[in-house]
Homo-oligomer: A and B are copies of this chain.
């Protein structure tokens, strides 16, 4: 079967806006999904190394979570709760506290800022500005934090930024780890600006960072770089915000992606896989002394999406009461890395390079066209992967953490063949 055999589903073209995008790369109609696979209307399976852009760490319709969700819905549990106290929210808070915060000695208060990542980032930025009385926020080259105006201001992508139609002020960019090929000592530029009263840098309220930039091209910050950043923030009294929306919830092995570096951010944003079932949910975590919100100062209609609390609780219970998932992810990281390094040839001959942590990996090609071709071929042969990076030159691998070894091997095999096919 080739792409031309697939009839374009017309209502999407006639009624849905031109803004739609994934459906252009994968021109089929998906009907159901289970574990590591989606199925289109013809019943054709697709191995999913995309995982809802990081929202499906436990796979599609994970049976453990599904059971809890169906039971809750069947019993007429509260569906929509704003920020009322509910049984489901209490269960989540208790479980999150005992399985995630306490064992890591993280003192955070938990805020439900609205159910999407950008809601969480907007809340984090508001809070950092309110607490410090300052306005500037530092973000990094190739950062991605969301599409509403506050989050977009700290996002790097030029096309997304242009969509704003207004200036995006109060944000300044610093080089992410290794952005300047090691030609400048880490943070020398940043600290020089901070120390120089004539530099023109208005003292920042906060620094917001992803430990691994997903949309930006799977750029992995080294642990020592993160530690130096945390120390810089401490020294200059800037709040450190880790946006763990895509890399949290076990994607890099640990529950939080910053654990490996041994740092404690002042504010953390979580979303995507926190509900565990692909249901909209987001959290903003922060040190208790930062909890200066007035009641309702930030709000939102769907901040109490209780079915998501139920699956989130079930996911924490199933996967984070012990270190099994973490261990499995880390050991698979080696397996994936070896496979990808094999693909790269290892001697620079192929022009490919590889980077990643845990179960997030990027395979960088010379340009976006090649990476696109690889993804297209992978789709045709049953694997969902997408590109990322400023020019779409990086093929991004985000398999479910629950994928089996066989599924991992199968996907890596399709990828390898797609790379060779498009050489």
Contact = CB atoms under 8 A, between A and B. Distances in A.
Interface string A66-90: 1001100111111111111111011
A189 B151 CA distance: 24
A45 interface: no
Interface string A170-211: 111101000110011100110011001111111101000000
A84 B142 contact: no
Contacts of A301: 52-55, 116-117, 245, 271-272
Chain A contact-residue range equals 35 or more
Contact of A164 (B21, B129, B294): B129
Q: Which of A60, A156, A199, A291 has the most CB of B within 10 A?
A: A199
A93 B38 contact: no
A249 to B, nearest CB: 13
A156 B200 contact: yes
Contacts of A299: 19, 21, 147, 160
A262 interface: no
Contact of A84 (B22, B153, B295): B22
A411 interface: no
A139 B199 CA distance: 10
Interface stretch (A27-35, A250-258, A321-329, A340-348): A27-35
A200 B139 contact: yes
Main secondary structure of the interface of A (DSSP, over half): loop
Interface in A258-290: 271-272, 277-280, 284, 286
Given A52-B82, A295-B18, A173 B199 contact: yes
Nearest to A17: B111
Contacts of A228: none
Interface string A367-408: 000000000000000000000011100000000000000000
A173 to B, nearest CB: 4
A150 to B, nearest CB: 4
Contact of A149 (B148, B155, B294, B307): B148
Interface in A90-118: 90, 93-94, 96-97, 101, 109-112, 114-118
B302 A115 contact: yes
A389 B198 contact: yes
A225 interface: no
A255 to B, nearest CB: 16
A388 to B, nearest CB: 9
A43 interface: no
Contacts of A22: 82-84
A122 interface: yes
Given A31-B78, A78-B38, A109-B16, A94 B11 contact: yes
A157 interface: yes
Contacts of A193: 141, 173
A360 interface: no
B78 A69 contact: no
B90 A76 contact: no
Contact of A15 (B32, B78, B97, B205): B97
B180 A188 contact: yes
A338 interface: no
A353 interface: no
Interface in A1-36: 9, 11-12, 15-24, 26-34
6 contacts: A12-B89, A30-B84, A52-B81, A135-B167, A141-B199, A189-B189
